[in-house]
Structure 1
Amino acid sequence: MEGEVQSQDILAISFKSQSYGFVFYTTRDGSVSISESNSANFGMNFEKIIHRYNPSIICMQPNIDNAIATIIKDVKDTEIQVLEQNDFNYQNGIDSMAQILFTVPSDEQDSVRQSVLSGIVNLQSKPIVAAIGALVNFTNKKYQSPPIVSVFSMMEISNGLVLSSKAMSDLQIIKQELHPSIHQMTSIKEGVSLFTLLNRCSTKMGKDRLKDLFTNIPNDINQINQRHDILEEFTKPEFHPMVNELVNKMKNVTDVTNIIQNVKKGTMKTKLWSSLAKSLSAAANFCKFTLQNTLPENLTRHFSITDKLVNLLESLSQQIEMTIDFSKVAEVYINDDYDQELTRLRKIYKNLDNLLNEKAVELIDDLPLKSPILSLSVVYLPQIGFLTMCQKEGLKREDLPNGYLLSFETDSHFYCKNEMMNELDRNYGDIYGDLQKRTIKIIVKLSNRILSHSHELSELYKFIGEVDLYCSLAVVSVEGHWIRPTFSDKNEMKIVGGRHPLLEKLTPTDFIPNTIEFGSDKPKIIVITGPNGSGKSVLLKQTAIIVFLASIGCFVPCQFCELPQIDKIIPVFHNGGASEPFSSGFYDDLKMLSESIRKSTNRTLILVDEFGKTSNKDDGASLLAGFIRSMSDRGEMSPFVIISTHFRDILKENVIDNKLFIRMTMSVDCLLSKDELLFLYKAVLGEDEKSFGFECAKRGGYPPELVERAKIVCKSLKEGTDVPENPLIVDREMDMKMKRALKIFFDWNENSDPRALIATIESIFSDH
């Protein structure tokens, strides 16, 4: 939107005396959040802060501990700014606090600053104060302005379900991609993900609240159950008409947080005033509707809509419409006849040309007949006033008439004051300046009224976002036939008829549901085998997504769901290549597996998909077997683990006791008469001994003749016999030449003349 402040999310980190101070500031709504951590807990708290606030810029000290600096610099898709050490000076922080502006009227700045900073910021906390100073210095340098703050608060660091940003991406919970438009190549857009599926929000506030729901998952089971209670009300059939009407009412309620930032900075444009008026009017209509209908009690417990609030919204909207002329987009223009004094000044300014011409005629009539002045006019210059302008041609200073006092001159004209000009100054003053001052006074008065209610507006729009969020979740839940999950204290997980919400949406035919049940009197480890493309990875991901949805307070796509409260979801997925230079895919797999061992508890869900596929078969299989034994050795303290693998050998009794895990396979029907493979995508207990690798290759479009050759080679290797000659090689002579040339190449002494090597190889192929 034109004139809006570009949103930036800035995290400043300061280190003092074994403690770290975190200060997060977002230009989107002007909120500042602070927190302090000791060095021992830095890694855990930093991960949660990044997960919760997702900063676009991180400001850090130059002399920070190397291990800590590495953790900070490893954050993906974030600009790291290493500031000067002086920026983190404690005294600089104290001084910088006086520069912070608040979204309140000007005359309230000092009192609000004193009460907020003394009430929330502990001035004895050197890391916090230093981080605030660094933040203020950074915004001054980058934006030529100190932070404009709407609220100071302590950071909300979730103690609930934790997922890393990589886990979010691997599970397609939040999937960010580069924008495909050539005009937005550096921007990020949300790809196909769980977030886009659930985002049926009508407002930006609802979308922001959904993002918050994904990143700030509560630990309090009562809070999660309250969310389920609200959603249950919204999904009742009798509530559907009300949800539809709420959605219609919210469509025109645009977010005003950025607009209020512009009001405070004095950078409002006509379009923004128009948007604010329309949004306030739409918010008033929303409030009227909610007063006439009953929203769930848990939703209205912390915010209530009153007739007084409706009157305020209508009054503010009407005042803006009465004040600002929305048809004048070039500049903010006050409506005609809104203010009598402004109208009077405008009329004078509009008729100024006629007045100046009349006065010029009078002056010319008063000139002597033989006056050397060839041309004379009267002009008005803002801040200088009225002047007589005389053409210089044939005119000297001493030729100016009596009473003409020279103010200044240009190459072509003299500009003079005289009695008539002085009289005009007395009568009309600095008319343009007075006009601007009057306009500014009216806009400031309107702005101050808006700012005096900024807190009420902020709370209302948060509430609208909350209602929008539940409407969105309700629509998706009803359309997808999702059900309410339940949480228990049992050490078991049971998901009956679970479905992958994204694939179900994209699948033209009926999606095949699957059941997962483990824990309590059953092992907490499930090992799934099956051919490529049979649905193993989908089952892992859908289990994680169902757990995630339940944990954020949403309904879930299944027939029945009972879970313990999960603290972490750790996917160990191979993504194709190495994540870093001089690394390898297998090394990355090992790092992820090691992390899952170190960070998991008995309430953690670990998903291991095809571990070791990029390694030596024996190495990968033995490491995976060791992981299974390590997890099972924890007994009841074992995490919930689901593994998909092709390593069937580790499932043999002489490798791992099969009582330690549940064996499952993705069922397949092989239509031998048609030599076709039919995937049923159904997870069943037990294991299919056949891998169907060749059938999978055919389904994948592999040339049939190569599949048949692979079968022959595989059989020879199993039987320990020589591999028969390949009939596909038609040109035997060329084959022999290639083998001979390769042998010469690999036997070549690097100290020999390379030209001789080339000549030798060329001679092989030139022989006839």
Structure 2
Amino acid sequence: MVSPKKLTPAMEQVKTFKEKYPDCILFMRMGDFYETFFEDAEICARELDIVQTSRSKDPEGNPIPLAGIPYHAVDLYLPRMIRKGYKVAVCEQVEDPKLAKGVVKRDVVRVVTPGTAIDADVIPGPTARYLMALCSDAKKTVMGLAFLDISTGEFFVREIPFEPGFSALATEIEQYNPLEILVPQGISADLISFLASTCKVLTPGRSGLFVDGTAELTAAFCVSSLDGFDVSSAECINAAAAALRYAKETQKTSLPHIRGFSRKYANDAMILDAITLRNLEILNPLRGDRNDTTLFGFLNRTKTPMGSRVLRSTITRPLTSPEKINHRLDAVGFFTRRPVLLSGTRTILSRFTDIERIAGRIAYGNASPRDLLALASSLAAVPELTAELCGAEGLLKDELEQIPSFDGVADLILSAIVDEPPLVYKNGGVIREGYSSDLDQIRNIVTNGRDWIAELQQTERERTGIRSLKIAYNNVFGYYIEITKANLHLVPDTYERKQTTANGERFTIPALREREAVMAQADDRVLALEISLFESLLTHLSEFVPALQQASRSIGTIDMIAAFADLSLSGNYVRPELVPGTELLIRDGRHPIVENTVPGGYVPNDTEMSSIGQQILILTGANMAGKSTYMRSVALICIMAQTGCFVPASFARIGIVDRVFTRVGASDDLAGGQSTFMVEMLELANILNNATDQSLILLDEIGRGTSTVDGYAIARAVLEYLHGKGGAGPRTLFATHFHQLIGMESELRRVRNYHFAVKEDQHDITFLRKLIPGATDRSYGIHVAKIAGVPKKVLVRASDLLREALTQDASSGGTKYYTQMLLTDAEPAPSAVEERIRDADPNMMTPMQALMFINELKALLEKK
């Protein structure tokens, strides 16, 4: 990058720091600017849309690219670089330039990366921001993952299998969405390729980062053993140690708010793999960027950032313990029975700011004065929340009791910080009058000095007779007496000239010079004392960081429960029953998101399944009839129930679901060299190999990616396999256009046929979106093509071909289809009223006869 020939001392510093931080953009503090050089300058100019210039030349005679930003605007530009996936090393001047001999000493004071950002300006929104570290065993059988959010102190590990295709790893990445992934040296090329395909920032760890994990963690958390953390896996321990080491190295601090870590097990929560999270749009929409179309976005009525993070974690790991689920449902029910209390509680919750992240910044030492005022306001709301919920029971009571007392903390902050402080405390103007007597005394010197200067100005005007005489100040010349040209002949001999201007002269006098020196010294002392007092306040508040983290977790849980209750009341949801076994009984089930968007109203549907009864429901019918929406609604109701939320139905009894599998839609993995059908088969293999009797499976159009014969054979074999798993099997919704499969109802005991009702007439069809027993042999594909705008000529030809195919099938004695309800407009037998009207001739009736005829019809209707 840089010529080995001699550079200027400043450029030698740049070269040294770039060699130490080769994967970072170097922000080099040069006076009032952060400057970037060489390739860094070109990147910053492009990404930040700033001007690129040059600074002198390198030894080869080439201009050195330069792009800079004002130091006071770093909080505007730095976040933009981090959000674009860059890492930035911030290099500051570590000595006073006035005292420096030669080039000013500089050092990198922090490295900001996407996974280790803690500054409020870099972290938009309440979503957790994880750094993930990955470590596998030598035999490549298991993988340890560590997730660390340094903005909140959340730290946990997961152990997953090391498997071909990395489906378990894909699930973890989809679920927790790490912004940066830390990997050891020497990992396999296929794993690197997979991680690169996730579009996350990938950071190779330095040598030694992933070793001696136990020693690192026991020292960091001041314990003799890790037994208390319930983590024994060497891979998890080394991954956790690497994440913590990396965070400390980038932040140049010990991160005292990270006080421990935990292990999350797979068997204590419903498993939602990456495919299911995407297909059910749990976290991210399949199309567009509207978050309200996702389950998380829809459920997220929380009032606090902590509540939003608790909800996101909960919705991706629904509970599997009926006891814990009912404990949470009891809390939701407590609120739904008390809507006035719920409203008051949510009003109080709306006053809480992000306590958890402010606590992290206090521990880190970069909390701003405005952070502290926001914290004080939040802490003042804690007693109100406790008083509002004094009659709470169960889970709510437990969470309230875990919120520590913060007596005097809010008052201390309010006594120290002015009402409208600046964002940066190092510029002064932060500490309130009366907080420090020493600060007040020094401020009085400055204030009295300014009064003295005002009096001096009046005295000199009277003494010289110059009415326009003015005493002013600037940063270069300090205080001066300004005299216009017209009055220079009145200037006394005792005045000492400082500067000539276009309009006159600037002077000083000994008394003014002496007072200026005293005031300048006082200003410096005021700023230094303010900085010291604020930093002392942060040190004192850091003692409360663990209590603030505990309060954040409890307030977040209460907020989530209140949000569930608010949604349940507004949506007319019902409390689900969680029962042992595999029964799944839903009456009038609705899709929680779609039901609010359907013109003409949503049509609810019933579902009745179990692993030993109606285990597999084969769904046939048109693509637009509502099969996919219905299938998704069943899965979402189960997920919502096991998160502890009421559900959109009139009744729901749910046997615990251990895992939801989905195989819907079609997509290629071109980068991985896999066709649509290969992707379908890989997903299907995952389902068949991992489903249990407690699982819920959604299969949509299995086998459609290959030839008709092959596809039918695969679909039938899948149904037989799922049905044949012992005397029971996973609850399965199986949507298909292979109408030959409907005959399996008579062959397999736990298979039932269902379809969605359609109303037909001579000109059009209407999808009634009502699920009814039985099968149908109609897919109405031509009608769907018509709605989509396919040219009429194509539609006419397709209709002709369809008639030919149906005629040939009937003549060859093809498969017979049936339905238990036909909703067609066949001509019913005429009623007595209709027969009388058909026989009557109005032209031959007198007015009286017409009146009598109407009375006769009326009598017939009343008799009917």
Same fold (TM over 0.5): yes
Deviation, structure 1 residue 584: 1.6
Structure 1 counterpart of 2:468: none
| 1:689-733: CA deviation from partner (whole Å, max 9, x where unpaired) | 333333333333333343222122334456679xxxxxxxxxxxx
Q: Which SS does the other structure have where 1:11 is aligned?
A: strand
Cα distance change on mapping 1:284 and 1:444 into 2, 3 Å: farther
Cα distance between partner residues in 1 of 2:449 and 2:638? 74
Q: Which residues of 2 match residues 91-240 of structure 1 at below 5 A? A: 94=215, 113-115=221-223, 120=228, 127=235, 130-139=238-247, 142-145=250-253, 147-159=255-267, 160-176=269-285, 190-236=291-337, 239-240=338-339
Distance 2:544 2:419 in 1: 23
Of 318, 331, 340, which residue of structure 1 is paired with 2:411? 318
Moved more, 683-692 or 277-286: 277-286
Write out aligned runs for 1:491-506 (5 A).
491-506=582-597
**Aligned match for 1:301, one of 393, 398, 404:** 398
Work out whether residues 257 and 545 of structure 2, in 8 Å CA contact, stay in contact via their aligned partners in 1: no
Task: Name 2:23's counterpart in structure 1.
Answer: none
Partner SS for 1:114: coil
Shift of 1:545: 0.7
Q: Tell me the SS of whatever aligns to 2:208.
A: helix
Task: Name the amino acid aligned to 1:79.
Answer: V
Larger CA deviation: 640-649 vs 453-462: 453-462
- Contact 1:523/1:661 (CA < 8 Å) preserved in 2? yes
Distance change (3 Å), C-alpha of 1:705 and 1:151: same
Whether 2:832 is the aligned partner of 1:710: answer: no
| SS in structure 1 at match of 2:530 | helix
1:525-536 aligned within 5 A: 525-536=616-627
Q: CA deviation at 1:686?
A: 0.9
What are the Cα deviations for residues 613-668 of structure 1, in whole angstroms up to 9, with x where unaligned?
33222221111011011111113341111111111123346x98254511111111
AA in 2 matched with 1:273? L
Q: Kindly tell me: are residues 519 and 24 of structure 1, through their superposed partners in 2, closer, same or farther at Cα, counting changes over 3 Å?
A: closer
Distance apart, 1:342 and its partner CA: 0.8
Q: Kindly report the root-mean-square deviation, in angstroms, between the aligned alpha carbons of the 2 structures.
A: 4.0
Partner in structure 2 of residue 243 of structure 1: 342
Q: Letter of the aligned partner of 1:321 in structure 2?
A: L
Which SS does the other structure have where 1:636 is aligned?
Answer: coil
TM-superposed CA distance for 1:229, in Å, is 1.4
In the TM superposition, residue 512 of structure 1 has moved relative to its aligned partner by: 1.0
Find the residue that maps to 2:314 and give its secondary structure: helix
**Paired residues for 1:406-445 under 5 Å:** 431=522, 434-445=525-536
1:57 equivalenced with 2:193 (yes/no)? no
Alignment-derived partner of residue 266 in structure 1: 365
Question: SS state of the match for residue 698, structure 2?
Answer: strand
Q: Secondary structure at the match of 1:337?
A: coil
Native 8 Å contact 2:167 2:274 kept in 1: no
Output the CA distance in 1 between the equivalents of 2:162 and 2:682: 23
- Within 5 Å, give how 1:614-633 maps onto structure 2: 614-633=705-724
**Shift in CA distance, 514/718, structure 1 to aligned 2, threshold 3 Å:** closer
Distance 1:116 1:514, change over 3 A: farther
What amino acid is the match of 2:294?
A: S
Cα distance in 2 for partners of 1:226, 1:190 equals 29
Paired position in structure 2 for 1:697: 785
Matches within 5 A, 1:22-41: 22-34=145-157
Structure 1 residues 279 and 123, CA gap change in structure 2 (3 angstroms): closer
User: C-alpha distance in 2, partners of 1:683/1:213?
Assistant: 31
| Structure 1: gaps spanning 5 or more residues | 101-112, 181-188, 360-378, 387-420, 722-768
Question: How many percent of aligned residue pairs carry the same amino acid?
Answer: 20
Show the 5 A alignment for 1:71-110: 76-90=198-212, 94=215
CA distance in 2, matches of 1:591, 1:642: 19
Bigger shift: residues 429-438 or 227-236? 429-438
Q: Is the 8 A contact 2:618 2:752 kept in 1?
A: yes
Distance (whole Å) between structure 1 residues aligned to residue 254 and residue 121 of structure 2: 14
Tell me if 1:327 matches 2:449.
Answer: no
Unaligned runs of 5+ in 2: 1-74, 77-118, 124-128, 457-472, 479-512, 810-864
Aligned to 2:135: 14
Q: Which has the higher contact order (CA 8 A, sep 6+)?
A: 1
Task: Give 2:759's aligned residue.
Answer: 669
Q: Structure 1 stretch 331-340 or stretch 297-306: which is displaced more?
A: 297-306
Deviation, 1:612, is: 2.7
Contact 1:20 1:42 in 2 (8 A): no
**TM-score under structure 1 length normalisation:** 0.73
Question: What amino acid does structure 2 have at the position aligned with 1:32?
Answer: F
On the 8 A contact 2:272/2:317 being kept in 1, the answer is no
TM-score under structure 2 length normalisation: 0.66
Say if 2:641 and 2:647, in contact at 8 Å, map to a contact too.
Answer: yes
Amino acid of the structure 1 residue aligned with 2:370: K
| Partners of 1:174 and 1:195 within 8 A in 2 | yes
Q: Residue 625 of structure 1 contacts residue 656 of structure 1 at CA under 8 Å; is this kept in 2?
A: no
Change (3 A) 1:585 1:492: same
How far did residue 598 of structure 1 move? Answer: 0.5
Select the residue among 278, 281, 304 that pairs with 2:377.
Answer: 278
Does structure 2 conserve the Cα–Cα contact (< 8 Å) formed by 1:21 and 1:128? yes
Question: Greater shift after overlay, 120-129 or 542-551?
Answer: 120-129
**1:546 and 2:637 correspond:** yes
Against the structure 1 CA distance between its residues 636 and 497, is the aligned structure 2 distance closer, same or farther, given a 3 Å change threshold?
A: farther
With 612-621 and 337-346 compared, the bigger mean Cα shift is at 612-621
Aligned to 2:772: 684
Matches within 5 A, 1:735-754: none
Render the CA deviation track for 1:202-229: whole Å, top value 9, x for unaligned: 1111111111211232332210111111
Amino acid at match of 2:120: E
Residues 34 and 128 in structure 1, CA contact (< 8 A), matched pair in contact too: yes
Checking the alignment, whether the CA contact within 8 Å between 1:496 and 1:515 is kept in structure 2 is yes
Deviations 1:297-349 (A, max 9, x none): 3321254279x93xx35x22222122111334264321123211111122234
SS of the counterpart of 2:756? Answer: strand
Amino acid in structure 2 at the alignment position of 1:151:
R
For residues 330 and 464 of structure 1, the distance between their equivalents in structure 2, rounded to whole angstroms, comes to 27
Q: 1:650 aligns with which of 714, 722, 741?
A: 741
Q: 1:331 to 1:348 in 2, by over 3 A?
A: farther
Tell me: CA distance 1:190–1:90, structure 2 relative to 1, closer, same or farther (3 Å). same
Cα distance in 2 for partners of 1:619, 1:656 equals: 22
Moved more, 119-128 or 580-589: 119-128
**Residues 688 and 23 from structure 1, CA distance in 2 versus in 1: closer, same or farther, beyond 3 angstroms?**
closer
Name the CA shift for 1:141/1:589 in 2 (closer, same or farther; >3 Å): same
Q: Are 2:126 and 1:4 aligned?
A: no
Give, in whole Å, the separation in 1 of the partners of 2:236 and 2:769: 54
Q: Return the alpha-carbon distance in structure 1 between the equivalents of residues 711 and 571 of structure 2.
A: 39
Pick closer, same or farther for the CA change 1:118–1:171 going to 2, 3 Å: closer
Would you say the 8 A contact 2:351–2:378 is kept in 1?
A: yes
**Equivalent residue of 1:543, what SS?**
helix
Which residue pairs with 2:354 in the alignment?
Answer: 255
The code of the aligned residue for 2:715 comes to L
Q: Specify the SS of the correspondent of 2:389.
A: helix
Q: Deviations over 1:15-36 (max 9, x none)?
A: 4566754332102212322456
